[in-house]
Amino acid sequence: MITRWTVVLVGVLVALATGSWATTWRVEKDGSGDFSVIQDAVDVAASGDTVAIGAGRFADATVDAWGMTYVLLDGTKDLTFLGAGDDQTIIGPEAYDPTFDIFGIRCWEGAPSLHLEGLRIEHIAGYAARTDAADLTMVDCTIQQCLRGLHARGSGNRVIVEGCRFVDSMEHAVYAGIYAVDVSLRVVDTEFERFSKGISQCRGSTLISNCTFTGVGMDAGWVGIGIILDEAKGMIDHCTITSMRDGIWLEDIPYLTVRDCLITDCRRVGLEIDGLNDRLDIQACIVADCGTCVHLFGECKDNAIHGNHFFRDEANGGLYVEVPEYYPWGPSYFKLTGNYWGTTDIPTIAEWILDGYDQPECLMYIVFDPIADGPVSVESHTWTEVKGMFRPSGR
């Protein structure tokens, strides 16, 4: 008769025989753990192990031909890193030094699975975290005052970021909080503050939900979300983007849904659409007080941009919609019907749309009538917030 204890014993023996019995290695600054240096724990850990890191600043680095690295992985191990909280466990030097090419956590080779939780990575004059072939999960972490944030590459790999903060890029005009190439990217409940680009993704599928992107000043905030999706699908929903140069930049999009987002005070453009191959669905969004609410550039095909609120920046002569002076792929009629423009006066709306009717070499025409005759449903924002943006009917 096979008993419960027989099953347990067999499981233990199999785990021991295959080397899959996971171990937790404790790293403590005061020497009370197994190690006092994170890299020492990484070097002895086996795949599936956990490295639990206590409170304090961990500033011991490995120096090689690539620069300095605080946590270096060879790509052969699935590892979990658990900090004591992003306010207690800190990886990085005391101060930012731009003379070194520095990595916080680096994994160049192999295809491991990495889990980072409860950590702060700061003062890194390079990549706070870089993985070239790994499934990565980052939970409740902060990347602060680094040159670059998270850089992830890998065909088909999954990158999940939840409840994190990307704060104060050290050189605002260039780098992104998250830069992802050829990965399945999921970012939820995450804040980006004063990073040049919040999320920049090239190819791969995407889900960005319930995130905030905030820039301050001329340099601290170029693009909230920039996506070149190529052949994949994606969704951006319930996000707030404020005081960037461009709110959302979409290029060569085959199929994407943008839903229930608030984009305000962007210096140049709220929604930049540079090429549309298949279908773009934008609904229940508010774009307000931007230089141009919607800018279209490149060949754009099918779209469904309905049920949104567009409020131009009247104080600075902002436009509702702008298309390029030269657009040879037409005649093309881009539909923006069923939206609310803060006014129900058709001539006033048309006056602030710059398209083929105004530029002889442009063969793109904006179709915006019929319009919504009043506010439409927007899930994430109270009616008080929405009504505060309304303009009187007429001018």
Q: What are the tens digits of pLDDT across the range 117-145?
A: 999 999 999 999 999 878 999 999 999 99
* pLDDT tens sequence across 155-182: 778 999 999 999 988 765 568 899 999 8
Q: How confident is the model at residue 108 (pLDDT cuts 50, 70, 90)?
A: confident
Q: Binning pLDDT at 50, 70 and 90, where does residue 228 land?
A: confident
315 secondary structure, DSSP code: G
Inform me whether the pLDDT recorded for 91 exceeds 50. yes
Token reading at 142 = 């902060």
State what percent of residues in the chain have pLDDT above 70. 85
Q: What is the pLDDT of residue 84?
A: 97
| Tokens linked to 195 | 């990073």
Mean of the pLDDT values across residues 200-209?
90
CA 268 – CA 311 distance, rounded (Å): 14
pLDDT band at 18 (very low <50, low <70, confident <90, very high): very low
Model confidence at 388, pLDDT cuts 50, 70, 90, reads low
Whether pLDDT at 8 is above 80:
no
Give 267's contacts (C-beta < 8 A, 6+ positions apart).
Answer: 218, 243, 244, 245, 290, 291
Identify whether the C-beta of residue 168 lies closer than 8 Å to the C-beta of residue 196. no
More confident position, 151 or 16: 151
Contacts within 8 Å (CB) and 24+ apart, 25-34: 25/49, 25/50, 25/51, 25/52, 26/52, 26/54, 27/51, 27/52, 27/53, 27/54, 27/58, 28/54, 28/56, 29/54, 29/55, 29/56, 29/57, 29/58, 30/54
Cis ω on the peptide bond leading into residue 324 (within 30° of 0)? no
**DSSP-derived 3-state class of residue 40:** helix
d(Cα 184, Cα 234) in Å, to the nearest integer? 10
The structure tokens listed for 202 are 């090239």
Q: Which two tokens stand for residue 204?
A: 């791969």
* Burial class of 338 by CB neighbour count within 10 A (0 to 12, 13 to 18, 19+): middle
Question: Average model confidence (pLDDT) for the chain?
Answer: 85
pLDDT class of 20 with cuts at 50, 70, 90: low
What is the pLDDT at residue 164?
Answer: 98
| Local confidence band at 65 (pLDDT 50, 70, 90 cut-offs) | confident
Measure the CA–CA gap between 263 and 381, rounded to whole angstroms: 12
* Stretch (H or E) spanning 351: helix 346-351
Termini Cα distance of the chain:
86
- The DSSP output letter for 183 is E
**Tens digits of per-residue pLDDT, 300-359?**
766 789 999 999 999 999 999 999 888 787 788 888 999 999 999 999 999 999 998 998
For position 74, what pLDDT does the model report? Answer: 87
Distances (CA, A) of 312 to 4, 291, 348, 389: 69, 7, 11, 10
Residue 239 amino acid letter: C
Percent share of the chain, pLDDT over 90: 55
Q: Of 225, 186, 178, whose CA–CA distance to 205 is shortest?
A: 186
Given a cut of 80, whether residue 21 has pLDDT beyond it is no
Give the pLDDT score at 395: 37
Q: Are 292 and 322 in contact (CB under 8 A)?
A: yes
Largest Cα span, the chain: 88
What is the pLDDT, as a whole number, of residue 11? Answer: 46
Task: Give me the mean pLDDT over the 73-100 stretch.
Answer: 92
Question: Scanning the structure block, which residue is given the tokens 């191990």?
Answer: 77
C-alpha–C-alpha distance, residues 341 and 286, integer Å: 10
CA dist., res. 6 & res. 267, Å (int): 68
